[in-house]
Structure 1
């Protein structure tokens, strides 16, 4: 784990002191689960469940905040079992799926979410024609119920395909009153008004948080970073963690701490757990 400045070290110490009131928010892909070519195979890190259960005993709550559909994240993360163990310790696990449009918790074990956005079905019908025109017909299109994601990772030159597709999909989305969330070799189209920053503020308000840690790896986490920065400016103990890799460093310049992928995230959470416990010994 690498602090980006002396401010990062100071913020770490403040979060440890306030750990009993801290909410820890975690992205899924690239943060708790390694990035893989097939999104359906992005299972949570083997050690993550045990680490989250230990962490939950030392903080106000743990929350997974992801662009994935909630049910998909529950399955790939084994999060219902993790939630059982956290609940047995008298704490809660929260899951915000589809950037916060869907919610699940270890105490309210059903996924709650809105209807699909108006315009999404028409967007999906028009999408294949756009992909063919841009020589990207083989892109993997993932329907999420409340959103649709176009993955370029499997294409021969995924970076070039991404650059060709992004402005065209932004224009098509705009015509249907939808918004675009670009990520690592993926362009997601969904309804406006919800993002990970809103999820952060919801957690703070509902849990009366006295501190916040957020770990993410990609552009979709920027709104969460922005929300945490506002909390820090208001005097709350906070920490921003970038899960970085050779192919992704979008958040490094914004983070207080940089760690090497999911392995590094789990090492940081173990350290937070240990130092938080030591403050109460």
Structure 2
């Protein structure tokens, strides 16, 4: 595919940066049941040795992304979890101390959600808290109803709100997928980059890819829920299956 040309010129210098949920794993109502497509890990195992590096940048805890993706034995892979606060590589996990605002929000948020619509689900990610409305009768309405409540709590606790696909996430400030990608690309001295995502949080990674000063390919894992990313992408593929197909095409071109 022509869109892969920037990486094919020097694959040994290429960095592939991927989101997890909605990009390697289909979006599901219960986040604990999310799993990468079965064919994702084998493709990454083939592809990784031929590249400078592969990095997964996700809002999930890094260890969960590794577990849910079946990625523990993929070498030359780094997982930056919690938008870059955590780092997993070759079986080793590095995680910072908890932000005090997260502990405070953990105490207060359940009380604030007592009158929320039935089906609202609170996910504790350790370094962040996510309020999901996908299970409610009217997910978009519920999300809008909760937006100001979550924003007010974020302001009181020194956290920021990361909006996503029927989710509002409270997390510490100072890190996002763009900053994580910029730092990692500099660390590995990437000569080109492919970045793939599906949600609003991936816009920062797209911005970073455009500012790295190296050839970049931006891939949107398409859905009906988020259109902003598609407008910025070089190519839009059909959800996680389309992402894995594109990675397989890259592997076929560069892997022995």
Q: Give the number of equivalent residue pairs.
A: 256
RMSD in angstroms over aligned alpha carbons? 1.6
Tell me the residue number matched to 2:9: 17
Question: Aligned equivalents of 1:184 and 1:263: distance in 2?
Answer: 18
Q: Report the Cα offset of residue 33 of structure 1.
A: 0.5
1:54 pairs with 46, 53, 75, which one?
A: 46
The answer to whether the Cα contact below 8 Å between 1:240 and 1:257 also exists between their aligned partners in 2 is yes
- Say if 1:128 and 1:137, in contact at 8 Å, map to a contact too: no
Q: Which residue, 239, 248, 251 being the options, matches 1:261?
A: 239
Matched, 1:228 2:209: yes
Contact residue 133 and residue 167 of structure 2 kept, 8 A: yes
Matched, 1:70 2:48: no
Once residues 10 and 243 of structure 2 are traced to their aligned partners in structure 1, the CA distance between those partners, rounded to angstroms, is: 20
TM-superposed CA distance for 1:114, in Å, is 0.8
TM-score (normalised: structure 1):
0.87
Residue ranges of structure 2 left out of the alignment (5+ in a row): none
Q: Cα offset for 1:15?
A: 2.1
| Aligned partner of 2:84 among 88, 97, 100 | 100
Structure-to-structure mapping, 1:1-281, within 5 angstroms: 9=2, 12-81=4-73, 83=74, 86=75, 92-106=76-90, 109-133=91-115, 135-136=116-117, 138-231=119-212, 234=213, 236-277=214-255
Q: Can you list the C-alpha shifts for 1:125-184, whole angstroms capped at 9, x where unaligned?
A: 221232234x33641111111111111111111110011111221121011110010110
Whole-angstrom CA distance in 1 between matches of 2:215 and 2:210: 10
Q: Distance in 1 between matches of 2:66 and 2:250?
A: 24
Q: SS at 1:181's partner residue?
A: strand
Partner-residue secondary structure (3-state), 2:88: strand
* SS of structure 1 residue aligned to 2:227: coil
* Displacement of 1:111: 1.1
Give 1:57 shift.
Answer: 2.6
Q: Secondary structure at the match of 1:40?
A: helix
Residue 75 (structure 1) shift? 1.2
Q: Distance in 2 between matches of 1:94 and 1:160?
A: 37
Partners of 1:156 and 1:125 lie apart in 2 by 26
- SS of residue matched to 1:80: coil
Unaligned runs of 5+ residues in structure 1 are 2-8, 87-91
